[in-house]
């Protein structure tokens, strides 16, 4: 190429917290909330790639409008992992952008299929978010290889193993030092550890080490406090939380004790309801 393409840029759309129906509330908790969830648009002079197209009908509609206002040609939608809150909105985005390809790593595609299965929708997602789940759920096509190309630049798909769920990935954009982390990194929000075991926490810690070794200057977390900087220090903060949880789980005899120990260590993080769920799954 004789003419150097313009550097890639990005913008983050943060969906606000939303209520999730559950009967298992923490002491003093009035209603359970789902944390703010990030979608990221990476773009060049003309084309764009959208990462993690959110979940509910309202979120996907607002996100599609937000993307439209950026005036870019959407070529791909990428899902970092198979949890519903990061991809159930994809079908609505594809309705608005039929030229875009919905892509994910092969392991993520299999997870998406399980999350979008009728029994999962009926027993989990429609119970938690009644009337808010789109009817038409799109499943990604499996990416061949580990690169999404955007105006001559590479978006690298990196396997992270088990983080807050199995077969998670993140996107690394080396040309601008950006990592779009999905749920591999959290930003001032309690981590979801409802699927966690000691071995899985070891995998998550290894993924954080590998991510940090890539030397990103910007890390966009899948769940973040509104206004929190996308600073790479959140890698270390996520690591510290995992280590604290492991120690607190070992020292605690009950859900309540684990919850209270972690709250004392991390009093400022958003969404303690997620911590209650993590503690419940750990201690029964
Ligand atoms: Zn999530």
Please state the rounded mean pLDDT for residues 2-13: 84
Identify the pLDDT of residue 161.
95
Question: Which residues lie across from 33 on neighbouring strands?
Answer: 19
Report how far residue 90's alpha carbon sits from residue 279's, in angstroms, rounded to the nearest whole number.
31
Extract the tokens encoding 176.
């601008």
Instruction: Convert the pLDDT of each residue in 93-126 to its tens digit.
Output: 999 999 999 999 999 999 999 999 999 999 999 9
Which residues have C-beta within 8 Å of that of residue 224, sequence separation ≥ 6? 14, 36, 38, 186, 187, 188, 189, 230
Q: How much distance in Å is there from the Cα of 83 to the middle of ligand 1? A: 6
Q: What are the sequence ranges of the domains in the chain? A: 9-283
Q: How much distance in Å is there from the Cα of 2 to the middle of ligand 1? A: 41
Q: How much distance in Å is there from the Cα of 33 to the middle of ligand 1? A: 13
Q: How much distance in Å is there from the Cα of 250 to the middle of ligand 1? A: 25
Q: How much distance in Å is there from the Cα of 222 to the middle of ligand 1? A: 6
pTM equals: 0.96
255-264: Cβ within 8 A, 24+ apart: 255/279, 255/280, 255/282, 255/283, 255/284, 256/27, 257/283, 258/282, 258/283, 259/26, 262/190
pLDDT for residue 4 is more than 80: no
Instruction: Convert the pLDDT of each residue in 229-279 to its tens digit.
Output: 999 999 999 999 999 999 999 999 999 999 999 999 999 999 999 999 999
Give the N- to C-terminal CA distance of the chain in Å, as an integer: 59
Please state the rounded mean pLDDT for residues 5-32: 95
pLDDT for residue 5 is more than 90: no
Query: Is residue 131 helix, strand or coil?
Result: coil
Identify the pLDDT of residue 2.
45
- Percent with pLDDT over 70 in the chain: 99
User: Can you state the angle between helices 233-251 and 272-283, rounded to 10 degrees?
Assistant: 40
Which residues lie near ion ligand 1 (Cβ < 5 Å)? 83, 85, 183
pLDDT for residue 29 is more than 90: yes
Contact (CB, 8 A) for 273 and 29:
yes
Within 10 angstroms of residue 184's Cβ, the number of other Cβ atoms is 27
Identify the pLDDT of residue 6.
85
CATH architecture under which domain 9-283 falls? 4-Layer Sandwich (3.60)
Instruction: Convert the pLDDT of each residue in 119-178 to its tens digit.
Output: 999 999 999 999 999 999 999 999 999 999 999 999 999 999 999 999 999 999 999 999
Report how far residue 101's alpha carbon sits from residue 97's, in angstroms, rounded to the nearest whole number.
9
Computed on alpha carbons and rounded to an integer, the radius of gyration of the chain in Å comes to: 18
């Amino acid at each position: 190429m004789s003419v150097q393409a313009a550097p890639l840029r990005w913008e983050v759309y943060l969906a606000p917290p939303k209520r999730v129906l559950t009967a298992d509330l923490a002491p003093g908790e009035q209603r359970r909330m789902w944390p703010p969830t990030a979608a990221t648009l990476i773009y060049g002079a003309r084309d764009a790639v959208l990462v993690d197209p959110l979940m509910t009908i309202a979120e996907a509609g607002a996100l599609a409008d937000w993307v439209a206002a950026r005036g870019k040609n959407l070529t791909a939608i990428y899902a970092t992992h198979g949890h519903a809150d990061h991809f159930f909105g994809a079908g609505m985005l594809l309705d608005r952008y039929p030229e875009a390809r919905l892509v994910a790593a092969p392991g993520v595609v299999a997870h998406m299929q399980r999350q979008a299965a009728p029994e999962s929708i009926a027993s989990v997602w429609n119970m938690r978010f009644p009337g808010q789940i789109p009817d038409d759920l799109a499943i990604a096509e499996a990416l061949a290889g580990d690169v999404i190309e955007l105006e001559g630049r590479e978006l690298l798909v990196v396997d992270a193993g088990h983080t807050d769920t199995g077969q998670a990935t993140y996107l690394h954009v080396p040309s601008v030092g950006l990592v779009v982390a999905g749920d591999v990194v959290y930003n001032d929000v309690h981590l979801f550890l409802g699927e966690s075991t000691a071995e899985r926490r070891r995998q998550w810690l290894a993924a954080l080490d590998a991510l940090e070794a890539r030397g990103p200057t910007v890390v966009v977390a899948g769940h973040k406090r509104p206004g929190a900087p996308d600073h790479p220090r959140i890698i270390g903060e996520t690591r510290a939380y995992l280590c604290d949880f492991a120690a607190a789980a070992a020292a605690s005899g009950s859900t309540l004790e684990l919850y209270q120990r972690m709250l004392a260590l991390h009093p400022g993080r958003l969404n303690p309801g997620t911590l209650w769920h993590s503690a419940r799954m750990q201690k029964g």
